[in-house]
């Protein structure tokens, strides 16, 4: 997924704090992570359910499934203070943290593209997004049509980025005061900018 260019400090409030590791939660019938992600080892594309998924739930090749699957745990599993409405198959999306540790990603079920907009989910996403103006984190919704940068005041839509693109976010002055912004820097432009920076330093 995308890195973002804003400077970010670790934020314990995105998502809910993990004071205790969940010990009793199980995936059960939920297999949404087997649908919303690309699995290169299986040549599976996001939006299509993995053919190893069992109708009753679980993986038909458990123990032999790809490392990317073995290493993944959604935030609902990790946080015992997230109740059942946040289980991905109930919510219609999977929550995870991106590698930077401060970006909360909401990966939407392609067959339920507006599930994240339901008030009990959307209101909480807005609360979590309050870290964005302070440059302390981001909330990103990866929907079939593109990516939404959720901010306390507005949601910024960007077309689906390509691999290697950079997401730049922050606050900027406008005629109406300080407002959030988000833009995609194409991978080739990012490489060019880095090359020019190295030349200037040399």
Q: For residue 2, what are the contacts with CB-CB under 8 A and spacing of at least 6?
A: 98, 140, 147, 161, 165, 166, 167
φ and ψ at residue 198, rounded to 5 degrees: -65, -40
Q: What is the pLDDT of residues 3-52, one digit of tens each?
A: 334 333 333 334 444 444 445 688 989 999 999 999 998 989 999 999 99
Cα separation, 142 vs 191, in Å, equals 24
End-to-end alpha carbon distance in the chain: 31
State pLDDT tens for residues 52-106: 998 888 888 888 888 889 899 999 999 988 999 999 999 999 999 999 999 999 9
d(CA 22, CA 26): 9
pTM comes to 0.80
β-strand pairing of 138-143 with 103-108:
parallel
């Amino acid at each position: 997924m995308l890195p973002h260019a804003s400077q970010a400090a670790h934020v314990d409030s995105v998502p809910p704090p993990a004071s205790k590791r969940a010990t009793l939660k199980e995936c059960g019938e939920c297999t949404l992570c087997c649908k919303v992600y690309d699995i290169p080892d299986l040549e599976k594309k996001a939006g299509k359910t993995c053919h190893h998924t069992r109708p009753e739930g679980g993986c038909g090749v458990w123990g032999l499934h790809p490392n990317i699957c073995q290493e993944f745990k959604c935030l609902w599993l990790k946080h015992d203070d997230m109740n059942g409405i946040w289980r991905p198959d109930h919510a219609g999306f999977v929550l995870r943290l991106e590698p930077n540790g401060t970006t909360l990603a909401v990966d939407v079920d392609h067959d339920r593209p507006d599930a994240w907009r339901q008030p009990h989910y959307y209101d909480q996403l807005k609360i979590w997004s309050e870290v964005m103006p302070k440059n302390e984190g981001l909330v990103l919704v990866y929907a079939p049509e593109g990516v939404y940068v959720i901010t306390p005041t507005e949601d910024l839509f960007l077309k689906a980025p390509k691999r290697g693109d950079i997401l730049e976010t922050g606050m900027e002055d406008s005629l109406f005061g300080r407002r959030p912004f988000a833009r995609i820097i194409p991978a080739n432009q990012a490489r060019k900018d880095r090359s020019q920076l190295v030349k200037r330093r040399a």
